[in-house]
């Protein structure tokens, strides 16, 4: 055991690394820079989330081995650690460590609120991708007690997320949305999304209602033209509730092709990423104004994030269109089908479509799911929607073992912990 503890002290595990670009907490009085580091490290999660969300699902596909592992439901995905799961895991735990430092040491209520939002968002990404994950809520984790490395149950992770977001809601306001920083309404939106993901539709409804009803007062509204949501000239437009801001002038720790390259077919591993199944989905929605923005059948790619200015595209974490559809889903699950249709039709109207003809709760549920696919394609949402709604097999057209609903943890983390961090089944 002593040897293990000594190695845990020396080994480079992402749970106990101090962010390399900031001073230690005992030498700081101003934590703005540490908070900025917590924002910065979220960059490394953007492209992995985009690929996991759309290429694992039926919106996009890979072409060059071993990348088609995303289209196979077996253990092959472990080969994708270096480009996707490793950078994703490392970036988010660095963001968490930076946030922990602010939460423990800053005297600024707003800084602590922003840090709690970022920590919650990091854990929400981690739990959806990996399931059980280690929970670290301190800036100075022990180097002799390896229990901090043990994966904690999904329920505990969600409890941590909910607590952080409730604190963020209490600490933050909406007075500086144009800065792109965390806000009260962003925390409310994320909390509503968390409740939907965990199946608590009662709690989700109240949080999402607060966002939908309070959006106008906070300066947030649906863009009248769907295309105006996307592209570098539209970063932080009025529909965006929260985005991870990306700039080509700031070196990103993620050293591979970015999300906009993947969707546009600019990476040789997937020159024609568009899945014909997504084309068929748009064929079933004639007159949909989102089609030309989302798919290009000639190139078999997506123009949603235009190549022009690509390295400066923000990654949209939360936008009003997404929240309205989540709110519709919560209303329908709570027996308020007529109200759910009202929300659904807001999105359909913007897309140039007639009001939905769905009537029963089951039909409305399917209509909302179909709308989410067309509204949010190539925004990293599809796979996680399929998993949480239990529709993987029906939509993917094959029987997928639930063990492959999750992704493999980085093997490097398992080895660095001497097996205290365990691997997901199937990998």
| Residue environment code for 21-44, b if the CB has 16+ CB neighbours within 10 A, otherwise e | ebeebeebeebeebbbbbbbbbbb
> What is the C-alpha separation between 342 and 348, in angstroms, rounded?
10
> What is the C-alpha separation between 49 and 421, in angstroms, rounded?
22
Residue 87: CB atoms within 10 Å: 21
Count structural domains, the chain.
1
Give the pLDDT confidence of 263-279 residue by residue, as tens digits. Answer: 999 999 999 999 999 99
Task: Report if residue 423 sits inside a domain.
Answer: no
Would you state the pLDDT for residue 8?
A: 30
Would you state the pLDDT for residue 132?
A: 98
Task: Report if residue 11 sits inside a domain.
Answer: yes
Q: Residue 119 belongs to what domain range?
A: 2-416
Best CA proximity match to 132, nearest among 158, 151, 156: 151
Q: What is the mean pLDDT of the chain?
A: 92
pTM equals 0.93
Q: Is the pLDDT of residue 218 over 70?
A: yes
Give the pLDDT confidence of 188-217 residue by residue, as tens digits. Answer: 999 999 999 999 999 999 999 999 999 999
Task: Report if residue 359 sits inside a domain.
Answer: yes
332 touches 201 (CB < 8 A) = no
Would you state the pLDDT for residue 176?
A: 78
Residue 300's pLDDT band, with cuts at 50, 70 and 90, is very high
Give the pLDDT confidence of 370-399 residue by residue, as tens digits. Answer: 999 999 999 999 999 999 999 999 999 999
> What is the C-alpha separation between 147 and 308, in angstroms, rounded?
47
Residue 165's pLDDT band, with cuts at 50, 70 and 90, is very high
Would you state the pLDDT for residue 310?
A: 77
Task: Report if residue 424 sits inside a domain.
Answer: no
Q: What is the DSSP letter of 106?
A: -
Residue 65: CB atoms within 10 Å: 10
Give the length of the chain.
Answer: 427
Task: Report if residue 72 sits inside a domain.
Answer: yes
| pLDDT average, residue stretch 50-76 | 97
| Alpha-carbon distances of 237 from 208, 227, 240, rounded to whole Å | 20, 11, 6
Task: Report if residue 154 sits inside a domain.
Answer: yes
Containing H/E element for 283? helix 276-283
> Whose structure tokens read 């994320």?
190
Task: Report if residue 187 sits inside a domain.
Answer: yes
CATH of the domain at 243: 1.25.40.390
Task: Report if residue 410 sits inside a domain.
Answer: yes
């Amino acid at each position: 055991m002593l040897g293990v503890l000594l190695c845990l002290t020396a080994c480079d595990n992402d749970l106990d690394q101090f962010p390399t670009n900031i001073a230690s907490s005992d030498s700081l009085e101003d934590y703005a820079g540490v908070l900025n580091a917590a924002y910065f490290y979220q960059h490394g999660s953007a492209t992995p989330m985009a690929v996991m969300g759309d290429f694992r699902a039926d919106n996009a596909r890979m072409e060059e081995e071993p990348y088609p592992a995303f289209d196979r439901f077996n253990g092959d995905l472990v080969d994708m650690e270096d480009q996707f799961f490793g950078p994703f895991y490392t970036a988010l735990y660095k963001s968490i460590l930076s946030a922990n430092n602010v939460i423990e040491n800053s005297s600024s209520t707003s800084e602590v609120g922003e840090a709690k939002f970022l920590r919650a968002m990091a854990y929400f990404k981690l739990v959806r991708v990996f399931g059980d994950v280690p929970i670290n809520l301190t800036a100075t984790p022990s180097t002799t007690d390896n229990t901090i490395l043990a994966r904690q149950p999904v329920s505990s992770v969600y409890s941590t997320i909910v607590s952080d977001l409730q604190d963020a809601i209490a600490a933050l306001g909406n007075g500086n949305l144009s800065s792109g920083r965390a806000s009260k309404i962003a925390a409310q939106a994320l909390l509503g999304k968390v409740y939907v993901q965990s199946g608590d539709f009662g709690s989700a409804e109240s949080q999402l209602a607060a966002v939908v009803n309070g959006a106008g007062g906070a300066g947030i509204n649906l863009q009248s033209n769907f295309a105006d949501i996307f592209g570098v000239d539209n970063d932080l437009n009025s529909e965006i509730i929260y985005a991870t801001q990306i700039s080509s002038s700031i070196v990103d720790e993620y050293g591979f092709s970015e999300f906009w390259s993947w969707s546009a077919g600019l990476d040789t591993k997937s020159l024609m990423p568009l899945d014909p199944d997504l084309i068929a989905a748009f064929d079933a929605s004639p007159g949909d104004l989102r089609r030309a923005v989302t798919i290009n059948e000639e190139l078999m790619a997506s123009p949603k994030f235009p190549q022009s200015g690509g390295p400066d595209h923000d990654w949209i974490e939360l936008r009003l269109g997404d929240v309205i559809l989540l709110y519709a889903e919560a209303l329908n699950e709570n027996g308020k089908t007529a109200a759910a249709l009202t929300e659904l039709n807001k999105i359909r109207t913007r897309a140039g479509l007639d009001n939905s003809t769905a009537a029963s709760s089951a039909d409305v549920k399917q209509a909302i799911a179909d709308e989410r696919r067309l509204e949010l394609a190539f925004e990293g949402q599809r796979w996680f929607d399929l998993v949480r709604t239990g529709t993987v097999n029906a939509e993917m057209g094959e029987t997928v073992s639930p063990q492959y609903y999750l992704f493999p943890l980085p093997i490097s983390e398992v080895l660095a912990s001497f097996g205290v961090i365990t691997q997901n089944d199937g990998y």
